[in-house]
Structure 1
């Protein structure tokens, strides 16, 4: 598998003790191979003087491969080795201006650079797909071979048969990659459908593009509802920062109450007024029953509903069929508890609701679930009021113009129009989507403008790769997987591997070898963000305006190249050079910087610039209840209780129409939904969406992360485990109707006795700690083997897939 690779050791620095730096000006250094878990002894620590170290600026990429969330200062020792990292105090990370803290992932960043699993050279397959037999080749050979094959497939089958498979929101793919696709002529950007996009689109369908349920003035909020947000584990400037643990505790001191709706009692939930351990996949039933109580008990805002709700009377009549007595046996939550929670939502004001991936993009009726959550906030009068949803303080103006930073025009107008588009009234190339993530009609510019994330059309990755097997509506012929592992990213890796074997052409670019590489025709080595200088970010704060660029910390390992450069290289080879700065990325960066007044050379030399605010301007109180503007894009200028945007329109599979009013379908396998399956598989399995010690399925091979997260764990209630003779720390066999995995039991009383919960992505080994990687297929530890991949079960609007199933368990004797 790893021909052409070299192994290198790294074990220097003690990031977990990084707080000492702020106090002493010194950095702790841990002696090599001293590991508490291995030796039972504390590591030897010596202090080093950081004044002797060179400091360079970068953007941390430990929450995603192209994010500009946390600005970091990277310390290189006198030998030029990167040994320490801390947050840049003037960049407004995490706690705000002056904060140096980083999360566990951020403190491990050095180990990505010195990771012994790095891919160093381009490689070409010489064996059968799946065998993992490769030989080293040159970049010129790889780019030439890839470009020639893409041109051949375009000429023979049409440009739409080429797709780009994306990881999470990632600018080098979503902007540069999309630009390449559009010029090539294909709309098939294959998005995961496991993303914030799903949540956002549902909100915009119901309360519009400018409204929000999350309270941006938490100090004024009296009730916070945390619905499916895994705030303890997600990335620091997205969900963890939005979860606002320290701000929440400050608000609790001033009387804030909060409700936590999650199947597992994570740390923040222990501080909740009410914990609601809803069965995974049944959030939609809970939301419908809460709407029922709010309306039946007259706990809604009459003035708001009469003035600003479209079809409220129809919604009120519709939800009569969903009382708590209906929802209780589905959700596992008692009628009394559902009623209690609904009454709190209807009487404690102002209320804010933060809802997350488990509710929105990981259940097959996620769209309606999220719409219902938004309607709860709306009909109770909690939109755009102090302490309610939205209504954030207005920031002072930027001190220099950052309008072009991180904005690469994707040349959407280059997508070709065809007869099918014209006949159906669709925007160019929408008829060529292999698996529309959202309905084709929704992906027209005038409606797609609702969505803040995308300008260009998208296909759903799982459905798209299945086209290779089904031929419907046409089979993809070529796929580029960029910075993602398809055998861990989506449901049913066995099915994905079968498609990759059958696919005409598959190529990969990544920093480390992942299992899908075994099926590739070419594997390209990506350098880390710390080995190039390609990304600019900015931040405007009350204290001032900040702009920074990645300063190159080390030369690219081996022959690795920037993720951004591959699109330029292929574009030049295919004759698109004029649209790609003739292969010179610096020209793009100069265009982004031009309005700021800074030059690229100046910024690279300094790393970052912070301009302090001296005009005395401070965040200003917003105007409230500005409903005409908030709802202006919605039909009749109102919240869509009766949804006239999607009602009666074709779904994304085009095998039915979408409804006007919320519906509940439930998980493909559920205790209440499929009792006949539950007889053999009596427990519910689900997994965490994000984890503080990994990024989805990556970073399991970094020692700092893996030593705290060694074995593929599954949380299980001790009472449940003991029924099956399973002790804490035992290996378990977990079987669903779709596959089986083995994982290690971790006793946890804060989880329902009918639920077990794991984490995906255990394929990476950790050489330094001697920890193995685990197979992605049956018998390994990839939880996606357990889930349903039936296309007809995916959400009909935004393609979300169920992340829950029924399982049976036993002690693993293998």
Structure 2
């Protein structure tokens, strides 16, 4: 193998993890991928590469990948024929003209992100605007509803994983499995070794549970109920941070009245937990400073009611004065840099709104 044929390329893992991609060192020979490994000189991932990243080599050059367009003339069969790109484009254009812009919708797939380029999605959006058809963001079946709920509450900024490792005294993994956020996992481990308490709230015992001091397994879809009962305890037992609430939030009086019916006993029936577990968690969270919540990036938001959970959970740091402090607030999760959403009507759950880019009613 000559020096001309082989080279080492530094790049980033294309697997669309959050909050950051991992550095990757790739050996290329004659234009083909030969080996890959974590880039030890990357200042963020420092050589770490999870099983997804290490499996990237199975994608490139895989004989099962579709490399050419195919058309199925009869949708009642599973018979496809290979066609040219021109024929495929003409086929789509003809169908779109026949249906009209009002009946055409574009939906970007996950592959548009895993190649490491958001340009694909941006071009689709531009085409939709020019053509006048409907366009759906792929995040709406992922973390979009969660971002919507967090944005309505006003918690638009998150703390970093490095800050969590160095400063958090409590880390709450709320529907956040570290296997889907592997680059954050080592920072959780570092915080726990330093003495931070790690708590997992989820619907099953995930990989995160193995790194946790306490685990709360709740019924699917009951995250909002759990958070409302936690707020009930914090408010009624006067565990909230009055100075922070007065200086940085609006709506506390409305929220205080709203959470009164949502007692730990009520939430126990909704979540499957014991009443004492809910109250104990609320007191521990309110009395530990700084405390950080890593809000689930996808699964907990994939329901019509999922954005209520995000809204309710993101109230907790504001109630306890954990926003704007090292090691507190919300931790790094999916799309955190773009969690801000527009104000769309009156909220269904009165919330504490952190005054940081909040749109007034």
Q: What TM-score comes out, normalization by structure 1 length? A: 0.39
Q: How far apart, in 1, do the equivalents of 2:355 and 2:340 lie?
A: 20
Is this contact kept in 2: 1:74–1:84, CA < 8 A?
yes
Q: Secondary structure at the match of 2:338?
A: coil
Give the direction of change, closer, same or farther, for the CA distance of 1:455–1:370 in structure 2 (3 Å limit): closer
| Aligned counterparts, 1:51-70, within 5 A | 53-63=6-16, 69-70=21-22
SS at match of 2:59: helix
Which residue number in structure 2 is paired with residue 322 of structure 1?
262
CA–CA separation in structure 1 for the residues paired with 2:129 and 2:78: 32
Two-structure CA RMSD over aligned residues (Å): 3.3
CA contact (8 A) 2:160 2:331 kept: no
CA contact (8 A) 1:259 1:274 kept: yes
Match of 1:165 among 107, 129, 141: 107
Deviations along 1:410-430, whole A, 9 cap, x unmatched?
xxxxxxxxxxxxxxxxxxxxx
Q: Residue 227 of structure 1 is aligned with which of 156, 170, 174?
A: 174
Cross-structure match for 1:266? 206
The 2-side partners of 1:357 and 1:251 are apart by 21
* 1:176 match: 123
Please tell me whether residue 250 in structure 1 is matched to residue 185 in structure 2: no
Output the CA distance in 2 between the equivalents of 1:161 and 1:451. 33
Higher RCO (CA 8 Å, separation ≥ 6 residues): 2
Report the Cα distance in structure 2 between the residues aligned to 1:88 and 1:326, rounded to whole angstroms.
50
Normalising by structure 2, report the TM-score. Answer: 0.83
Distance of 1:228 and 1:106 partners within structure 2? 23
SS of structure 1 residue aligned to 2:140: coil
Deviation at 1:319, TM superposition (A): 0.9
CA–CA distance in structure 2, aligned partners of residues 451 and 161 of structure 1? 33
Aligned CA distance change for structure 1 residues 130 and 357 (closer, same or farther; 3 Å): farther
Aligned equivalent of 2:34, options 83, 86, 90: 83
The equivalent residue for 1:516 is: none
Q: Which of 67, 71, 84 is the equivalent residue of 1:138? A: 84
Gaps of 5+ in 1: 1-47, 393-449, 457-627, 636-643, 645-814
Unaligned runs of 5+ in 2: 343-352
Secondary structure, aligned partner of 1:86 = strand
Q: Which has the larger radius of gyration?
A: 1
Tell me the matched-pair count.
341
Return the alpha-carbon distance in structure 2 between the equivalents of residues 245 and 120 of structure 1: 36
Deviation at 1:220, TM superposition (A): 1.3
Deviation per CA, 1:636-675, whole angstroms, max 9, x where unpaired? xxxxxxxx5xxxxxxxxxxxxxxxxxxxxxxxxxxxxxxx
Does the Cα contact within 8 Å between 2:249 and 2:355 map onto a contact in 1? no
- Change in 2 beyond 3 A, CA 1:215/1:360: same
Other structure's SS at 1:109 match: helix
- Equivalent residue in structure 2 for 1:92, among 24, 38, 43: 43
Deviation per CA, 1:358-392: give whole Å up to 9, x if none.
Answer: 66412332122111111111111100012212699
Change in 2 beyond 3 A, CA 1:227/1:311? same
1:52 is displaced (CA, Å) by 8.6
Alpha-carbon deviation of 1:163?
A: 0.9
8 Å Cα contact 1:222-1:256 kept in structure 2: yes
Q: Report if aligned partners of 2:318, 2:354 keep a CA contact under 8 Å in 1.
A: no
- Contact map agreement 2:293 2:331 (CA 8 A) in 1: no
| CA distance in 2 between partners of 1:109 and 1:632 (Å) | 39
Over 3 Å counting, the alpha-carbon distance change for 1:451 and 1:183 in structure 2 is farther
Alignment equivalent of 2:241, drawn from 293, 301, 316: 301
Native 8 Å contact 2:108 2:124 kept in 1: no
